[in-house]
A and B are shown apart, each in its own frame.
Chain A
């Protein structure tokens, strides 16, 4: 929502002077992501370990000449244990900007300027895990997260990164449509021009979106609270406050010209010549 910023929001200004907000992820969400990662990582490791174990038993059954193979298997296993501890996170975050667990928890690692991270950042923040995990169970990391405003653990502080909750989906929420459409009689009862300030408008919008999930009594009660100050400003009857709110919102939304002036920008049709501007 574009309402009042939460204190876990970090505003980032782009070179175009557009400000958008990232919601930084707190310890709980990141703990879930970490748990998923650990399961994936050591689950895979376990499966391979069982396989090597069987190989080991098999090699002993066949005879000594196969023990070299089993030794190599143990070597591979140790190498994999190393990868699980040190390489897994670096590789995923370096290539993808997030590990599978973070993907599952809808998280993304970005730099504090809001850009995607590279290998250097991925390596730093994950090697520093060795410091965050001390003395046991990421106590240092969690304490550091609680002391910094971007929920950064030590690794994040050194690498200059933060973990943010993935932006809302690009799919646009459906605009609110008035149903049934306003009748002439209803419109006559309302003022011609309705001006709502942003807070009022946001409140009405929030109410209209939640309307279906409320019981009729609660709906009426909430609508009464919203309609009252508006009713004082514009003199109108309010038999059905919920309906009145929907009408007011519709009026306010359609304030201004409905016909767009010809665009100053010429949008090139897809596939057309590139517009160098």
Chain B
């Protein structure tokens, strides 16, 4: 038998309508202009009105009032819930958007995943050096990863040196290319890590092989000095970012393989938090790499300057990744 309320629906709605309308106008205002634009009085009214509405919804459901009333109360509750609790969700998740926090969170996350990073490093650099020495020894090895005509063209352009530099328009074009290509590869390398890390491992291996083979070939053709001068400026950012993106993918995959005491889904979501930091950090590093590669690496600056710059860049990257945000790390761990 139905629960009959003491108050019928019409009377209930009439009594409470005033508050509902007030809350609705607040919610609409907050939806359009954001919560921050509400005045102090409006904020103060929002929360009691929302709680009253929750009570009304519960009463309406218990009294089995008609569907349109319950539906509209439910819709209003849902919208108000988003406003009341959404502020909290936003402020916690976009907290790391603040530049300083983000800049410190990234190296901390890298160090937290040092095992994955080491494996990613090996997955990239072992095939890299293997391919490098293989094509140094036998240049035809490189033809397996790139076509002969491509490699010859590449060798020619490196042999020519950088005396001519690059026009600025050309530089902008190459910057676009490097961003599109390299950041795309890094993000794919990260994303496919969800397949138990296999995708990331594949990208790391294949990119390591290809890069090693091409550099080995160009060196074997006698343009080794020039290609070193070219890559030394940006490679610490670029290869570092690829390794970190791959490591993040491996960590993501590992969270599925070995979830520990969590369910696999919960473990994946947990791993996702750090992975987001790592992937966006890697993307930022690649943006830096792309601008160096486009506007500096092929410029007509003297070789000595370029190599010194490259050394300093490598040192900076290493110091940043190994020491950045140290000391505050305990705080970060405790927060988790």
Partner-B contacts on A (CB < 8 A): 1-3, 14-18, 20-22, 67-72, 74-79, 81-82, 85-86, 94, 111, 114-121, 123-124, 127-131, 134, 154, 157-160, 167-176, 195-198, 201-202, 205, 253-261, 263, 265, 267-268, 270-271, 273-277
Among B129-137, B184-192, B230-238, B303-311, the stretch that binds chain A is B184-192
From residue 24 to 44 of chain B, which have CB atoms closer than 8 A to chain A?
A: 24, 27-28, 40-41, 44
CA of A1 to CA of B70, assembled, Å: 8
Chain A residues near B206 (CB, 8 Å)? none
A168→B72 contact, CB < 8 A: yes
Known: A71-B172, A157-B268. A175 touches B4 (CB 8 A): no
Q: Nearest Cβ in chain A — how far from B106, in angstroms? A: 13
Top 7 A-B pairs, shortest CB-CB distance: A68-B169, A118-B93, A78-B176, A71-B169, A75-B176, A274-B44, A173-B68
Known: A131-B192, A198-B2. A160 touches B269 (CB 8 A): yes
B45→A274 contact, CB < 8 A: yes
Q: Is B173 interfacial (CB 8 A cutoff)? A: yes
B72→A172 contact, CB < 8 A: yes
Most buried by B among A18, A129, A256: A18
B96→A205 contact, CB < 8 A: no
Chain A residues near B220 (CB, 8 Å)? none
Q: Is B252 interfacial (CB 8 A cutoff)? A: yes
A154→B194 contact, CB < 8 A: yes
Partner-A contacts on B (CB < 8 A): 1-2, 4-12, 14-15, 18-19, 22, 24, 27-28, 40-41, 44-45, 48, 50-52, 54-55, 57-58, 61, 64, 66-72, 74-79, 81-82, 85-86, 88-90, 92-94, 96-97, 167-177, 179-180, 183-184, 187-188, 190-192, 194-195, 199, 252, 265, 268-269, 271-273, 275-276, 279-280
Q: List 14 A-B contacts (CB under 8 A).
A: A14-B54, A16-B51, A71-B169, A74-B173, A158-B275, A173-B68, A195-B4, A201-B66, A256-B11, A258-B8, A260-B14, A261-B6, A267-B18, A275-B44
CB < 8 Å: which of A128, A260, A261, A277 contacts B191?
A128
CB < 8 Å: which of A167, A254, A260, A276 contacts B15?
A260
A158→B268 contact, CB < 8 A: yes
Most buried by B among A120, A175, A205: A120
A82→B179 contact, CB < 8 A: yes
CA of A114 to CA of B86, assembled, Å: 9
Q: Nearest Cβ in chain A — how far from B103, in angstroms? A: 16
Q: Nearest Cβ in chain A — how far from B42, in angstroms? A: 9
B173→A116 contact, CB < 8 A: no
B195→A258 contact, CB < 8 A: no
Q: How many A-B residue pairs have CB under 8 A?
A: 241
A75→B172 contact, CB < 8 A: yes
Q: Nearest Cβ in chain A — how far from B76, in angstroms? A: 6
Chain B residues near A124 (CB, 8 Å)? 272, 275-276, 279
Known: A20-B77, A198-B2, A254-B8. A115 touches B179 (CB 8 A): no
CB < 8 Å: which of B48, B64, B174, B194 contacts A158?
B194
A256→B194 contact, CB < 8 A: no
B45→A175 contact, CB < 8 A: no
Known: A18-B54, A75-B172. A198 touches B64 (CB 8 A): yes
Most buried by A among B77, B169, B199, B252: B169
A14→B82 contact, CB < 8 A: no
CA of A129 to CA of B50, assembled, Å: 37
Q: Nearest Cβ in chain B — how far from A249, in angstroms? A: 9
Chain A residues near B8 (CB, 8 Å)? 253-258
Chain B residues near A121 (CB, 8 Å)? 93
B19→A116 contact, CB < 8 A: no
A69→B67 contact, CB < 8 A: no
Q: Nearest Cβ in chain B — how far from A180, in angstroms? A: 19
Known: A71-B170, A74-B176, A78-B176. A173 touches B71 (CB 8 A): yes
CA of A260 to CA of B9, assembled, Å: 10
A114→B174 contact, CB < 8 A: no
Chain A residues near B15 (CB, 8 Å)? 260, 263
A72→B172 contact, CB < 8 A: yes
Chain A residues near B180 (CB, 8 Å)? 78-79, 81-82
Q: Nearest Cβ in chain A — how far from B219, in angstroms? A: 29
Chain A residues near B54 (CB, 8 Å)? 14, 16-18
CA of A170 to CA of B75, assembled, Å: 6
B179→A79 contact, CB < 8 A: yes
What is the chain B residue whose CB lies nearest that of A134?
Answer: B192
Chain A residues near B90 (CB, 8 Å)? 116, 118
Q: Nearest Cβ in chain A — how far from B16, in angstroms? A: 8
Q: Nearest Cβ in chain A — how far from B267, in angstroms? A: 11
B64→A120 contact, CB < 8 A: no
Q: Nearest Cβ in chain B — how far from A82, in angstroms? A: 4
Chain A residues near B41 (CB, 8 Å)? 271, 273-274
B19→A267 contact, CB < 8 A: yes
B6→A257 contact, CB < 8 A: yes
Most buried by A among B24, B57, B89, B190: B89
Known: A68-B170, A154-B194, A198-B2. 17 other contacts (CB 8 A): A16-B51, A18-B57, A67-B169, A68-B169, A71-B170, A81-B180, A82-B184, A159-B276, A167-B78, A175-B9, A175-B68, A175-B69, A201-B66, A256-B11, A257-B6, A260-B14, A277-B48
